[in-house]
Chain A
């Protein structure tokens, strides 16, 4: 009988670059920057790392196929390095590889690194992906982009709950303004200028009803983690230990896009993965027990519906919680304390690890101006793909033996 991942693996070191338009750095420089911070934090030697996982999404630009780019950039000692790709869950997927390797006893110390160099393509937004949906889908898929794909949720949510689209937009504006306020306090964030809800509402339309400020930053960056067992962590002299409480993935199986019962107003995968994650972590009431979250706010509407899919806001009530400040930095469950994808930025493969980096620092009391008081459990969430076809990853981390 499976017992889950809870408290089997500890994070002993993390690193994260400043995210942004890193015009003068390639993926190699970014990986080295994150790795150096991480290994110094872990206090180990590079040759103690026995296996590594690398998360990255767009190989058409960026690093190319295979994990060779990480092995070469970090001059890893000819160990196993595996490249994983699962859309925006790629970073958490790399973390999962490293965590599972340690939990299985296959190795003592493993590395997870995520990287994405997006700003080498010459235009805004994510790289064009018409050829990346598969040969058959390429014959019929609509002419969609990421903002358009996620924007669909707004019309679906508005119709399902009879909420005026303008009220949905107001809550979306609060989400973005809140993340900008948090990002302004974060020296590593890409976008550091606070904005008003008014500015968000008046920003140019990208994909109805999403305006420019409903969309996250497209950034370069890298983040990484070194994991081991709690026992080894202690033997290394670590006292304040952050452990993995849950690690779940859920993928669409085609029901949303092809089967009638999906309402177009929620994520089937997040709903399922979060339930599994709470069970794995021993959480019975997430609204009371989760201290803070970094969720996949690729677009404000994604964060909006995710609050319900995580079973924190009741169905149909996310707007009220959002407007009440429940998810603000001084609210009950601060969401995106580091600025989120919205302001920290979104180098795809790095994002999951970047979220964990914030949770890790918050748990260790190292979050500076953004420090949340005495957090116990932090949740991270990635959503890759599109509302009707996606990959969801959820991680919960917390103090070991807490």
Chain B
């Protein structure tokens, strides 16, 4: 049996009420008032498609051994690098194997997440691979006061495909591919260019998704009544309903498009909705997953008995519940770099990232891998040639020690107004880890007023610096204080 062996999700912490956008921007484009309901998820300033993919991937892999991964596929239309394998950064953050692995980026289309999933399943079906992780993630930048600004949210989801302990068995797929351009983004452009909504609705989503699902049903011999849940993206609420009507799907069997709670997360969205469906799935449930963009992919899965016992630490439900409202519209547009605010001369510093040093230290920087002294057992970060324990100081006898998934506590902290930051004060400090070791790190997703010594933290892979001059994005791990209640 092949299929899904684990799933995970990540919706960033901030939610922006659409009413906040309306209050600030309806003067400019009153049409946005028509979709003022609900809220959308907003990535923090230090998040992007890669960092969110890493968060979803860790959520997915919490109970799995990352050393068994044969490949990591990243699906996104907002990859930070045009030429540097973005999936490779995710794989490095997961401290996944380098030898024998084949990682790949699936991009340039919102159905890239479902296409990557089909590719992963085919590789497993062929017997060439045993375990492939697909992470889909998007952090799309939208112009202010546009319908896209209203509809789109940020998020990621991850699916692990394999043959052991399958939670949902793969039952086949069907695709329609056509060059239907509801929107596009030219090379080097910041924003999507969109065509008339009515056409996108009626001739795009409203026709192509039903065609593909009907095609799958015809190919498989299944009928729509066999399907317990149908998952397909469509941020037009009316059209989302109409598609179900067209296909004869019982409205209770249509997966919610999450418009009210996070918005359309782009390439991630089919998988985000699908993970939400898996969270509620019962053994025996057949689930259809459709991805839309220059056609439509349809995948079918059937939940097994193992689905009940599996639980991702956060998942989509969990990360939706961990919401914090962003009430400051200016902060939102600054996070997306839509306004120019002065960082001062101090903020001009832009040291070049040494690619040689990054290569040598890739496990430490991207994987947050420290060292455990095999002589005295002391775990330590950063890993250096000699053991830090004063009574030991043994040179060169270490094994890798992963800190990324270790819970910890705040030892000391500050909130720094002098440090150039998009979201001052820059909060940072020293955290100590359960099981030993400590690290001096930036904090993120926190409000200084809530941070206390001793507070629990979790580590999160984040964007550390963006070198606008050279086009390089640097990443490292930050501590997220876990404010209770």
Contact = CB atoms under 8 A, between A and B. Distances in A.
Contact of A155 (B349, B432, B453): B453
A207 B425 contact: yes
Contact of B388 (A123, A149, A208, A259): A259
B411 to A, nearest CB: 5
A260 interface: yes
A250 to B, nearest CB: 14
A139 B358 contact: yes
Given A138-B351, A142-B428, A264-B412, A258 B438 contact: yes
A143 B419 contact: yes
B351 A148 contact: no
Nearest to B384: A254
B277 interface: no
Size category of the binding interface on chain B: 35 or more
B446 to A, nearest CB: 12
25 contacts: A136-B361, A136-B382, A143-B416, A143-B419, A143-B421, A143-B428, A143-B442, A144-B419, A147-B416, A147-B418, A148-B414, A148-B416, A155-B453, A156-B453, A205-B415, A207-B415, A208-B415, A208-B448, A209-B414, A258-B381, A258-B382, A258-B388, A259-B378, A264-B430, A388-B430
B188 interface: no
A130 interface: yes
B309 interface: no
Most chain A beta-carbon neighbours within 10 Å: one of B358, B378, B413, B432 = B413
B453 A152 contact: no
A144 B428 contact: yes
A388 B429 CA distance: 10
Nearest to A150: B414
B353 interface: yes
Interface string B336-360: 0000000011101101011001101
Interface of B: 344-346, 348-349, 351, 353-354, 357-358, 360-361, 364-365, 378, 380-382, 384, 388-390, 411-421, 425-426, 428-430, 432, 436-438, 440-442, 448, 453-454, 464, 474, 476
A120 to B, nearest CB: 12
B388 A255 contact: yes
Interface string A189-208: 00000000000000001111
Given A257-B440, A259-B380, A123 B448 contact: no
A201 to B, nearest CB: 17
Nearest to B454: A159
Contacts of A208: 414-416, 425, 448
B419 A121 contact: no
B418 A206 contact: yes
B361 A139 contact: yes
A158 interface: yes
A143 B411 contact: no
A402 interface: no
Contacts of A139: 353-354, 357-358, 361, 365, 474, 476
